[in-house]
Structures are given as C-alpha cells and as structure tokens.
C-alpha cells in the first residue's frame, strides 16, 4: 500500500470521528487519547481451568464457492472515484512444497513488475498523474488486487489494471529485485524488526504445524531462493484464473464498465490447478514455541485453532466477548485496563475471534483474508522480560474469568454501545464495503455488519455467556513468545506459579489480591512441549 492510501484512510477516519463526537462513539486508539475509566473487573477467585469437553480436530468445512468471475457491484453514481477489487481464491496454501512464497512473489511480480507496454518505472509514472492506486495483498487462501481511480481516468487505468494480469512483463531484473526483497522481508523485517508479526507467524506455525497454513505468507528463505521466473509464469497460469476470481466494483459503475472488465478478464485462463484440499487441524493444547533474538522486550501470542467462523450462530456473541476482553488497539478491554493501565506491564493487550491482520493505516481488520479454519488468539506485547510469565498468567486468568463469570450488565451495555458505533467505521470506504461484500460470498453471510448490529441488539449478558462457555477454551491454548533470554523464560514458564510483580508505588489492596490469584493461575502448558528456535533459523526452510 502506498503513502497516499495510508494517509487517505487516516484522514477519513479522523474526519468521521470528529463529525460524530456528539453521540456515543468508539473509544479512540491508544495513540490518539488517554484511557477512559472502566468498571471493576471480576473479583478474584480461586484459579482453575475448568474441565471441558474433549478437543476435536478442526474440520476443513469448505467455504462457499461463487460463480466464476462473479461480479459484486456497489454502485454510487454521485461518487467520482471508481474502486476495484479482484479477489482470487489463491494464496500461500497453493505454494508447492519447497517453493514456499511462490504465490506471494507471483502476485508481486504481476502488480509491480510492469506490463508488456510499460516497464515497472513507467507503470508508476502512468499511475502518478491519475492519483491512482494499484496494490496487491496475498494471504493464506486469497490474493487481492485492488485499485482506485477518478472516473475521468477510467479507460486508461482499466487497461493498466487488467494488463498486470493479462500482459505481465516478466522482466528478469524485476523478478530478481522482487525475489530479493521477499527474502529480505523474511530475514530482516520479519525476524529483526517486527516482533509483533514474528509472534503471529510463530503462533500460526505452531497451531497449524504440518498444515498449508503453517508457513509465512511471504515464504521461507530457502523456498524463495529456489524460485525461478519460469516458476512464477507457470504459477500465474495455475492460480490466477477465471474460476477463482470475484470481481468487485464500486463508485460510478455502469453497464459499460461491467462489460469492459469482464470482457478483458475473460482472457485469463478459464481453469487452472485444482484448489488445495485442506486437512483437519488437530487441536493440541499446551504447546509453546520461543523465538530467541536480540530484543529488549518479550512478545506473547496465544491461541488455538477453532471451527468457529462467520456464519456460525455463536460467532457474534464470541466476537462481542472478545471485544470486551480486548478489541484491537482500543481502550475499553479488560486485558488493556488490567494489565497495562492498572499494572503498567506493557503497551497492547488484545483478543480476536478470528484471524486478524491489520489493514495498514487503520486499526481495523483487513478484508478478504477469509479462512476455512480459523483461530482464536490473544496478543500481549511488549513486556519487560522479567514480567513475561506474570503477563501470560494474567491473560489466561482474565480469559478464564470471562468463561467462568461472564460479563456484568454494566460492561455489557458499554461494549454493545461501542460496537454499534465502531462497526460502522469498518465500512467507511468503498474498498472496505467491497471487501466485506466479497467475504460474505465465501462465508455465506450477506449484509454481515448489519447482521452483527442486529445481533448486538438481540444479545443479553446471559446469551453471550452461554456462547462463551461453549466456544472459549482456556484449556486449549498454545503459546508463542519472542524474547532475548529463552532459557530464563523456559524456567519461568515451567514454574508452577508466576513471579510476583514489584511495583514502584503503592497499589490498592484489591489489586494485590487479584495479583495473588494471577500468580497461582495454572497455565495449560506442558513443559515437555516447549521448543526454542533462534530467529535466524525461523522460516529458513
């Protein structure tokens, strides 16, 4: 995504929040405003991970399959900006063994490597005076080519936008540049610069070991090193095909545009490789992976694979409960208030009902990253290494309290009001509305956000608690850590209790009582399963 797109998203979000300031609104992000007070957290009680039903493998229940080249149109004639989303059912699950990263590299070569008529540099020069964007986002099962342009430049942009798929340049120098960049992304940006993403990728690798989801979407070092330009050419013909594409259009869309884009994209191969059949995912709780690297803090990720996904009657109440526990980069969550605000442990404490990837420049989830098999996760980062064990016990403690005690009426109403407003920010642009509409085809959830708001109106604290008790499983958790001193963390995790915190100032007696319960909170962790890897070896092959 380029700077124009990121800045536009930030400006639109700020204007929306300012215009709506007179009515109940989403809580601002940590970067924007001071935290707001929260009602008291559940009272401390004897810690326990209550026995629950056996954990079954997560089946690969297929997503729905739209018709080949199905159109999704959100027409608004008064809007001068035309938005495009070409969403292919192709992702890193399609990478052949030993060629991890092939789908992402192929997508980037198409989007950035130039066309038959335009070199890579000429492509950028052509887009600049139109103030147009052309981006690509690969994920596990989907790859999205997105674009936007003023209607005055539509004919020229449409030619360029479709030529990246139909007439790619396949310049050897551009291939080598993009392949080198992909390798550097793994070696440098993932391993060295982004502990948050590294923790997410490590958790994926642990939860989905032996599964096509296990490797990083961007690939592995050895997988990328072995790729050739011929591999990219052949892979494009196999996976970027008519039977895998949904075409999204928004803005001043007329019949001529619909006819033009479908006619042009009919030059794609009609069919290609069969889609990958995903295996069931065994739920093996109590595992831990520690990535050791030079870093001043510890990043903590925990979660488990789940069959729960959009369209399941329990999805909305569980998403509600995890927003209460910790909405992404928002202030109201229990984890944020208890671990960060009251104890000063770290910066961010969040929980997710489905796999989460942040859309750059926003605090919202990216669209078109649907998954056949989902995961529930919690992120705690960054933490002073000496406090990592306490923070881990604390996250499990508050998750367990949610399962055992539910949500008070006061907090329930607070979260419901927040989500009634906040979900409207998720659909504030044509690109995001298109993304949700296309996702709804695959999940079978028409008008997804309207259905969420309707469900919010119908929920009660009791109905949410019933769904939580069915679906949230603290005993199912596995863990991923990124830290400098792996042996010290291993010893801390193996200890039956967490080391108590040492506070620089006096704390209320009731907080110290909860600390005693947190220290004693059992982790669903089997010490013999803890594995340690150096960052330099992670995603190497």
212-to-201, 276, 373, 541 alpha-carbon distances in Å: 13, 9, 11, 14
* pLDDT for the residue 28: 38
Cα distance between residue 439 and residue 397, in whole Å: 34
What is the CATH topology of the domain spanning 280-537?
A: Cytochrome Bc1 Complex; Chain A, domain 1 (3.30.830)
Per DSSP, 476 falls in state G
User: Fold match between 70-265 and 280-537?
Assistant: yes
* Mean pLDDT taken over the chain: 92
Question: Quick one: tokens of 281?
Answer: 């995912």
Beta strands at 245-251 and 346-352: parallel, antiparallel or unpaired? unpaired
Percent of the chain surpassing pLDDT 70: 90
CB under 8 Å to 205, separation ≥6 — which residues? 214, 215, 216, 289, 539
Cα distance between residue 361 and residue 358, in whole Å: 8
Cα distance between residue 459 and residue 464, in whole Å: 7
* 86, 144 Cβ separation under 8 angstroms: yes
* pLDDT for the residue 51: 52
Instruction: Please tell me the least confidently modeled range out of 28-37, 197-206, 420-429.
Output: 28-37
Domain ranges of the chain: 70-265, 280-537
**In whole angstroms, what separates CA 205 from the centre of its chain?**
15
CB under 8 Å to 278, separation ≥6 — which residues? 60, 93, 211, 212, 213, 372, 373
> Is the pLDDT assigned to residue 15 strictly greater than 80?
no
pLDDT digits (tens, 9 = 90+) for 430-469: 999 999 999 999 999 999 999 999 999 999 999 999 999 9
* pLDDT for the residue 42: 53
pLDDT digits (tens, 9 = 90+) for 495-505: 999 999 999 99
H or E, element range at 136: strand 133-138
* 257, 223 Cβ separation under 8 angstroms: no
Cα distance between residue 164 and residue 268, in whole Å: 11
Backbone torsions φ then ψ of 57, nearest 5 degrees: -60, 150
pLDDT digits (tens, 9 = 90+) for 209-241: 999 999 999 999 999 999 999 999 999 999 999
What is the CATH topology of the domain spanning 70-265?
A: Cytochrome Bc1 Complex; Chain A, domain 1 (3.30.830)
pLDDT level of residue 299 (50, 70, 90 thresholds): very high
> Is the pLDDT assigned to residue 1 strictly greater than 50?
no
pLDDT level of residue 4 (50, 70, 90 thresholds): very low
From the number of C-beta atoms within 10 Å of its C-beta (0-12, 13-18, 19+), residue 11 rates as exposed
* pLDDT for the residue 54: 78
> Is the pLDDT assigned to residue 89 strictly greater than 80?
yes
pLDDT digits (tens, 9 = 90+) for 337-392: 999 999 999 999 999 999 999 999 999 999 999 999 999 999 998 999 999 999 99
Cα distance between residue 5 and residue 159, in whole Å: 21
pLDDT digits (tens, 9 = 90+) for 109-159: 999 999 999 999 999 999 999 999 999 999 999 999 999 999 999 999 999
Beta strands across the sheet bearing 143-150: 70-75, 245-251, 81-88, 143-150, 133-138
Report the DSSP beta bridge partners of residue 383: 298, 346
In three-state secondary structure terms, 48 is: coil
Tell me the pTM: 0.90
Terminal alpha carbon distance of the chain: 27
From the number of C-beta atoms within 10 Å of its C-beta (0-12, 13-18, 19+), residue 267 rates as exposed
* pLDDT for the residue 399: 98
Q: Average pLDDT of 282-288?
A: 96
Per DSSP, 286 falls in state T
């Amino acid at each position: 995504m380029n700077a124009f797109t990121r800045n536009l998203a930030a400006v639109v979000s700020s204007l929306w929040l300012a215009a709506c300031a007179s009515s109940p609104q989403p809580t601002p992000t940590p970067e924007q405003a001071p935290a707001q007070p929260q009602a008291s957290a559940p009272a401390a009680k004897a810690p326990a991970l209550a026995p629950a039903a056996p954990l079954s493998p997560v089946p690969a229940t297929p997503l729905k399959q739209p018709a080949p080249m199905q159109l999704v149109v959100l027409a608004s004639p008064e809007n001068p900006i035309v938005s495009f989303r070409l969403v292919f059912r192709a992702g890193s699950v399609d990478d052949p063994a030993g060629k991890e990263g092939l789908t992402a590299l192929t997508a980037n070569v198409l989007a950035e490597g130039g066309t038959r008529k335009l070199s890579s540099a000429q492509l950028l020069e052509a887009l600049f005076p139109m103030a147009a964007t052309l981006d690509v986002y690969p994920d596990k099962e989907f790859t999205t080519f997105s674009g936007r342009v003023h209607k005055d430049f539509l004919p020229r942009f449409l030619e360029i936008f479709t030529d990246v798929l139909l007439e790619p340049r396949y310049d050897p120098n551009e291939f080598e540049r993009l392949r080198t960049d992909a390798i550097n992304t793994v070696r440098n940006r993932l391993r060295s610069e982004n502990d948050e993403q590294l923790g997410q990728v490590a958790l994926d690798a642990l939860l989905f070991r032996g599964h096509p989801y296990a490797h990083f979407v961007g690939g592995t070092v050895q997988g990328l090193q072995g790729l050739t330009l011929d591999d990219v050419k052949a892979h494009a013909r196999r996976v970027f095909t008519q039977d895998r594409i949904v075409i999204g259009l928004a803005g001043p869309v007329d019949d001529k545009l619909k006819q033009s884009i479908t006619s042009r994209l009919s030059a794609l191969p009609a069919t290609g490789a069969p889609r990958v059949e995903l295996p069931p995912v065994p739920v093996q709780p109590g595992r831990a992976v520690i990535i050791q690297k030079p870093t001043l803090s510890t990043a903590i990720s925990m979660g488990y694979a789940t069959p729960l996904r959009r369209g399941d009657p329990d999805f909305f109440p569980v998403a509600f409960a995890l927003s209460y526990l910790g909405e992404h980069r928002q202030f109201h969550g229990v984890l944020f208030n208890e671990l960060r605000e009251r104890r000063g442990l770290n910066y961010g404490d969040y929980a997710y009902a489905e796999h989460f990837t942040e859309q750059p420049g926003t605090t919202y989830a990216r669209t078109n990253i649907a998954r056949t098999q989902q995961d529930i996760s919690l992120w705690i980062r960054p933490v002073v290494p000496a406090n990592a064990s306490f923070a881990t016990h604390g996250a499990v403690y508050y998750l367990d309290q949610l399962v055992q005690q539910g949500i008070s009426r006061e907090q329930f109403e607070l979260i419901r009001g927040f989500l009634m407003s906040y979900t409207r920010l998720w659909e504030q642009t044509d690109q995001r509305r298109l993304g949700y509409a296309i996702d709804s085809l695959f999940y079978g959830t028409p008008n997804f956000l309207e259905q969420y708001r309707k469900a919010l109106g119908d929920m009660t604290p009791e109905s949410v608690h019933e769904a939580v008790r069915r679906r949230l499983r603290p005993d199912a958790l596995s863990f991923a850590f990124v830290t400098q001193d792996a042996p010290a963390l291993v010893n801390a995790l193996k200890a039956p209790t967490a080391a108590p915190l040492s506070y620089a100032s006096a704390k209320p007696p009731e907080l110290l009582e909860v600390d005693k319960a947190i220290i004693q909170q059992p982790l669903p962790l089997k010490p013999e399963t803890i594995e340690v890897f150096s960052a330099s070896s992670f995603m190497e092959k």
